[in-house]
Amino acid sequence: MMNRQGRKSGTGGIAAGEAPETFTGHSGLDHVEPLIFEIGDNAKTGVDLPAPGDFTPALGGLARQQPSGLAGGGLPGLSEPEVIRHYTRLSRKNYAIDSGLYPLGSCTMKHNPRLNEKIARIPGLSDVHPLQPISTVQGSLKVMDELAHWLKTLTGMPAIALSPKAGAHGELCGLMAIRTALEARGDARSLVLVPESAHGTNPATAALCGYGVKSIPANARGRVDLDLLKEALDDNVAALMLTNPNTCGLFEDQVIEIAEAVHAAGAFFYCDGANFNAIVGRVRPGDLGVDAMHLNLHKTFSTPHGGGGPGSGPVVFSEALAPFIPLPEVVSDGEGLRLREHPGDGDRSFGRMTAFHGQMGMFLRALAYMYSHGADGLRQVAEDAVLNANYVLAGLKDVMSLSYDGPCMHEALFDDSFLKGTGVETLDFAKAMIDEGFHPMTMYFPLVVHGAMLIEPTETESKASLDEFIFALRSLAEAAKAGDTARFAGAPHLAPLRRLDETAAARKPILRWVPNSSVEP
């Protein structure tokens, strides 16, 4: 029989080399784990509390009218060991960078040094409050000022906004500054150009700012077609939003010519800096003619995705856009540091992005990462990231199909043409990677490549881990070409759950547990 987790159970015979079926549905020490509501009941609790007595008058009539347990559709009751076991078992089902190589392209899932976490928990910084008197937060302001200084130094840009909470939020910040600058000179423009190889949030951000969006095709080399870009530039174009290195893992080697053409048309050059990890310490975007660029601290500077709170997507600006950046910003007035809250003479800020800077933990982690590495170390980050990606590319290009000729930057991009005629689909290949102990790479992105497989190993992976990864993918590619479709059909076979119906999960998600529900998750 098949249990609700999709595993077999019973006492059937075992073929040679086949895993035994079990009565419980467990696989060795990998346990099937029900929902916490399914293992809880009203008769248990992890703590002993005194009898409540009659507090109804003191509560002003707010006393509970029904039980808090399952009978009331509320909290499950569990003993302390049951709670610990439940969450420990769930944690073992999570694949993370601490478990193994995480090859997602355009996500930069690098190791987060524990030193950064220790620094982010320093008392007085970890618990800082935005409404504290300015004299009591000089240390926090110093952290922000130092971080701003080094981000400007690394990018070669004169101004920065620290307040955006993520990359897409940073894009919004940059375009709002561009729109404000255009309005200040009485130049109403309505169109933003976005290359096909840009991140998907770029056109969404432009539309959110009220701009129309025009796509610029890529050339045969996977870069922006410069001739088509120049044809699209006119006095109605407000900005170009270009990702560099782009989502094909390639450096836009005509970027200076692109910047010159954009500026000649009176437009601004916005660069998506999500892939700054590949060029930090080697290339300063300000030298390339960039006017605004967001920096994902959780990508280039190792802070976790989210960081247990708001993310962080600072934006650096050129001299032309510096007067229009959002407030507040950290400044020195001779008596110490403070937050400048209101525009000054000649300053035409578009206002606030958020009420407060809420990312102190992210700022601390990023600054600790910079201090740990130094200028030479950050340069090595980029060099090793590019080296690792090209090592993967070289190890797989004879069994998988490269999307573009030549070396890559921080990501190796393959397409699914090597699977043609094998009966194995791109998704089958990705799911089979799970059985080999690896999280799949980014699939079907970028959209300009059919059946894209985008691999970003990052600089934090050793040669040994890359060799193991390459061996696994080579084995899968060779098995597909040899006609071993059984290895791929229905994969993953060894994961806690079998292959899910991803379309149904997206369109008909079950988001709430209902007592005595007959709906199978």
Task: Give pTM, 2 decimals.
Answer: 0.88
Cα–Cα distance measured from residue 212 to residue 290, given in angstroms and rounded to the nearest whole number: 21
Q: pLDDT tens track of the chain, all 521 residues?
A: 334 344 444 444 445 556 666 777 777 778 888 888 888 877 777 777 777 666 555 556 666 666 665 555 567 888 889 999 999 999 888 888 888 999 999 888 888 899 999 999 999 999 999 899 999 999 999 999 999 999 999 999 999 999 999 999 999 999 999 999 999 999 989 999 999 988 889 999 999 999 999 999 999 999 999 999 999 999 999 999 999 999 999 999 999 999 999 999 999 999 999 999 999 999 999 999 999 999 999 999 988 876 556 789 999 999 999 999 999 989 988 788 998 888 777 678 999 998 888 889 999 999 999 999 999 999 999 999 999 999 999 999 999 999 999 999 999 999 999 999 999 999 999 999 999 999 999 999 998 899 999 999 999 999 999 999 999 999 999 999 999 999 999 899 888 877 888 889 899 998 887 776 544 44
Q: Which string of DSSP letters, residue by residue, matches 90-148?
A: HHHT---TTTS---BTTT------HHHHHHHT-TTTTT--TTS-GGG-HHHHHHHHHHH
Task: Give the per-residue pLDDT at 485.
Answer: 94
C-alpha pair distances (Å), 353 with each of 94, 173, 293, 357: 34, 7, 16, 10
Largest CA distance in the chain: 84
Q: Where are the domains of the chain?
A: 1-28, 115-369, 376-507
Using an 8 Å Cβ cutoff, are 111 and 298 in contact? no
- Our CA angle for 117, 160, 209, nearest 5°, is 105
Q: Which string of DSSP letters, residue by residue, matches 370-396?
A: HHHHHHHHHHHHHHHHHHHHHHHHHHH
**Domain 376-507, second-level architecture:** Alpha-Beta Complex (3.90)
Peptide bond preceding 328 in cis form (omega within 30 of 0): yes
Task: Kindly tell me the burial class for residue 100, based on how many C-beta atoms sit within 10 Å of its own C-beta (0-12, 13-18, 19 or more).
Answer: middle
The radius of gyration computed from the CA coordinates of the chain, to the nearest angstrom, equals: 27
Q: Which of 394, 310, 293 is nearest to 130 (CA)?
A: 310
* Pairing status of strand 237-243 against strand 268-272: parallel
Cα–Cα distance measured from residue 470 to residue 438, given in angstroms and rounded to the nearest whole number: 11
Task: Give the per-residue pLDDT at 423.
Answer: 95
- Per CATH, the number for 115-369 is 3.40.640.10
